[in-house]
Structure 1
Amino acid sequence: MCTSLTYEAKNHTFFLARTMDFGVKLEGRPVAIPRNYVWERQNGKEIKTRYGFVGTGRKLDGYFFADGVNEFGLSVAELYHPNEATYHDSKKPGKLNLAPHEFIMWVMGENKSIAEIKENIGGVRLINKKVSLLDDVPPLHYIITDSTGESIVIETEDKELVIKENPVGVMTNSPKFEWHLTNLNNFLSLKPTNVKNRQVGELTLHPFGQGSGTFGLPGGFTSPERFVRTVYMKHLIKQAANSTEAVNTILKILNGVTIPKGVNIKDDGLDDYTQYRAVMDASNKIYYFNPYDTNSIFAVKLTEELLNAVEPTEFLFEEELQIQFMNC
């Protein structure tokens, strides 16, 4: 399970961010895919990417990405959508037939903007194809933003891809996206200021202390709770002035939905935990990566060197806590 959000700084730079919460160790790392990279679909047919991009990926049968930003700032993250996502069982002539986990490669490699996705998505068909790492077909939906700051969610309905406008810039997991928007109506009383004293007969009721306006803010790790909590944080947190402040601000929001190991156990006994957090700068084409075992933030900027490389570039990192002593 995962949480994602869009963000705009005061200088009008736009971002997409996410937590990657999963039980199976994914062992992903930042990978840059160059322009004109040829990759093979699971049906054996090849595609040449038009545009380069960077995101967290892993090479299995081919590269498998969970998120990323391309050279035009188009940013995407795929999240689990259990009990909701449905796919076709067979290919259709005249369509680009993709496995659900391959769709993200098409989004970043073939489109400059959300406007282009809206024009092109009718030619795409998602087929039931397993990911070798999981030996299963991942049920997915997708959140996308671009350099204009527009945000959409793409889900399947009756096996067909459907684009949904995202007025709050947040996405988690099941149920369907519009259910989450409706559920926000249950939390109209939430506010950052304290509630006022109230007289009941001769008794004066008063808050116990600071934060009484947030009473009822969901605190668990279910998808609906994370959705409400992220919307609240995103729309009330002080707006960052620039890109660097924005990354820090976004990570503060994600702190509220970051899952430590051991507090959320799946039915199969595996820890569902936040394996990494990612922030994608759609304006400056920078990918920020923060893995679980370190406080370090690693960044990759899409340069012409990366975009014109012959092969993908994988970036290694040290996953250990960094501590700076002040007296030695």
Structure 2
Amino acid sequence: MKKFLKTVLGIFLILASNALACTGITVKTEDNKMIQGRTIEYGEGNLNSKLVISPRGKEYQSLTPEGKFEGHKWKAKYGFVGASLINELFIGEGINEAGLNAGLFYFPHYGSLAKYEKSSAKKSIVDMQFVSWILSNFSTVEELKRGLKDIKIVNIALDEKGNPLPTAHWRVGDANGGNIVIEIVNNGEVKIHENKVGVISNSPDYEWHVKNLNNYVNAYAGNAQSYELNGQKIFSFGAGTGALGLPGDITPPSRFVRAFYFLSTIKPINNSKEGVEEAFHILNNFDIPIGVEYSKEHKQYIPKDLPSATQWTAISSLNDREFYYKTMYNSQIRKVDLKKIDFSTVKYQANPLDKKPEESIEELVF
């Protein structure tokens, strides 16, 4: 166990100096269905993500920043399905049998958790196990808000200088339409934002991102109007000139703006099937090629086994209790129907996201 914990914490120390990029969106349908989607990016190594199926009644205990299983204990009220990060203990995104969805998004420089104290270990949950705690305990956003008062979120570990590692902020949504962003700042101050715009990325904080949308008030669907000036006709070269000025880089503020633009300009979505498909189409725009973050002099350090910095994209259909995903190795969309799982009897399991790390290509022979 000590070797396992040392290895896991060692990986987190490496991740602490590099950026995890994530983009999340909410698609709402004409028949009042909720679809939550997101990507996760990391270009320095394989996150070793697994498809985790956790049963109802499973007993959990949180790690402490000391690397010991001495934190908060709980017994799962709900079963869930999710994708892990680094280790199966740490769920990055998932949905439970009640239709509650939760996921973590990297939040460096802004997230500031409560300082861990041994005296409050039994109420402490490390940030990387927060999603598991949410999914296994609650059915709605309102239930979660009440439950947050009973626990304290602390950092998974400290770096070599004794400083807490960068943490996350979290998006949570339910089948009733509840949709919030949880940010913990100022050494433990919990802020809950109603996610009215249906978007989340990384730093800065959610309120900053929403204010920043005002810089793009002129962006709209379609084309700008042609006009004539001094006998010279000024016209659009092609489709989409209403979007001129949208940022195209991969920074969190730019991804937030683009995601909002795509959400605000999509066609009416009639049902959850269309919603899932549309969510994948939108998130395709945030697929980051592997070499983008490496400068010319660092190209030799690009990992040879990573085909993409976007390691997986996941979609949760909250009302239909379905979890969809595709990966950097295989763009075939896969689906887990939680309604077909008996969470009272299913065994806990963590399976590879891909049976084989290769693209599923169909050859057509004529």
- Equivalent residue for 1:19, pick from 39, 58, 65: 39
**Partner in structure 2 of residue 327 of structure 1:** 365
Residue 201 (structure 1) shift: 3.6
**Partner in structure 1 of residue 16 of structure 2:** none
**Partner in structure 2 of residue 164 of structure 1:** 193
What is the identity, as a one-letter code, of the residue corresponding to 1:53? F
1:291-310: per-residue Cα shift (whole Å, max 9, x none)? 11112111112246441236
Higher mean alpha-carbon deviation, 96-105 vs 273-282, is at 96-105
May I ask how many residue pairs the two structures share in their alignment? Answer: 325
CA distance in 2, matches of 1:37, 1:95: 18
3-state SS in 2 of match to 1:249: helix
- Are the aligned partners of 1:173 and 1:223 in contact in 2 as well (CA < 8 Å)? yes
- Equivalent residue for 2:233, pick from 204, 211, 214: 204
Tell me the TM-score normalised to structure 1 length. Answer: 0.91
- Are the aligned partners of 1:95 and 1:123 in contact in 2 as well (CA < 8 Å)? no
**Partner in structure 2 of residue 178 of structure 1:** 207
- Are the aligned partners of 2:171 and 2:179 in contact in 1 as well (CA < 8 Å)? yes
Instruction: For 1:83-122, list aligned pairs within 5 A.
Output: 83-91=109-117, 93=120, 96-122=123-149
- Equivalent residue for 1:258, pick from 261, 270, 287: 287
3-state SS in 2 of match to 1:121: helix
Instruction: For 1:213-224, list aligned pairs within 5 A.
Output: 213-224=242-253
What is the identity, as a one-letter code, of the residue corresponding to 1:14? M
- Equivalent residue for 2:55, pick from 34, 48, 67: 34
- Are the aligned partners of 2:79 and 2:97 in contact in 1 as well (CA < 8 Å)? yes
CA distance in 1, matches of 2:259, 2:96: 25
**Partner in structure 2 of residue 57 of structure 1:** 84
1:170-211: per-residue Cα shift (whole Å, max 9, x none)? 000000100100010111111112111234344332222222
1:156-178: per-residue Cα shift (whole Å, max 9, x none)? 12122211111111000000100
Residue 14 (structure 1) shift: 1.0
CA distance in 2, matches of 1:22, 1:110: 29
CA distance in 1, matches of 2:172, 2:80: 14
What is the identity, as a one-letter code, of the residue corresponding to 2:53? A
3-state SS in 1 of match to 2:286: coil
- Are the aligned partners of 1:306 and 1:313 in contact in 2 as well (CA < 8 Å)? no
Distance 1:263 1:57, change over 3 A: same
Residue 236 (structure 1) shift: 1.0
Identity across matched positions, percent? 29
**Partner in structure 2 of residue 47 of structure 1:** 74
1:131-154: per-residue Cα shift (whole Å, max 9, x none)? 99xx97341001111001221100
Residue 22 (structure 1) shift: 1.4
Distance 1:274 1:257, change over 3 A: same
Distance 1:20 1:59, change over 3 A: closer
3-state SS in 2 of match to 1:101: helix
What is the identity, as a one-letter code, of the residue corresponding to 1:39? Y
- Equivalent residue for 2:330, pick from 264, 282, 294: 294
Residue 249 (structure 1) shift: 0.8
Distance 1:236 1:226, change over 3 A: same
1:304-324: per-residue Cα shift (whole Å, max 9, x none)? 644123631233433322222
Asked if 1:4 is matched to 2:4, the reply is: no
- Are the aligned partners of 1:20 and 1:274 in contact in 2 as well (CA < 8 Å)? yes
Distance 1:304 1:36, change over 3 A: farther
What is the identity, as a one-letter code, of the residue corresponding to 1:21? E
Please, which runs of 5 or more residues in structure 1 have no aligned partner? none
Please, which runs of 5 or more residues in structure 2 have no aligned partner? 1-20
**Partner in structure 2 of residue 283 of structure 1:** 319
- Are the aligned partners of 2:155 and 2:167 in contact in 1 as well (CA < 8 Å)? no
Residue 34 (structure 1) shift: 0.5
Residue 58 (structure 1) shift: 5.6
Instruction: For 1:185-196, list aligned pairs within 5 A.
Output: 185-196=214-225
- Equivalent residue for 1:243, pick from 272, 290, 314: 272
Residue 284 (structure 1) shift: 1.3
Tell me the TM-score normalised to structure 2 length. Answer: 0.82
Of Structure 1 and Structure 2, the greater helix share is in 2
Higher mean alpha-carbon deviation, 18-27 vs 200-209, is at 200-209
Residue 257 (structure 1) shift: 1.0
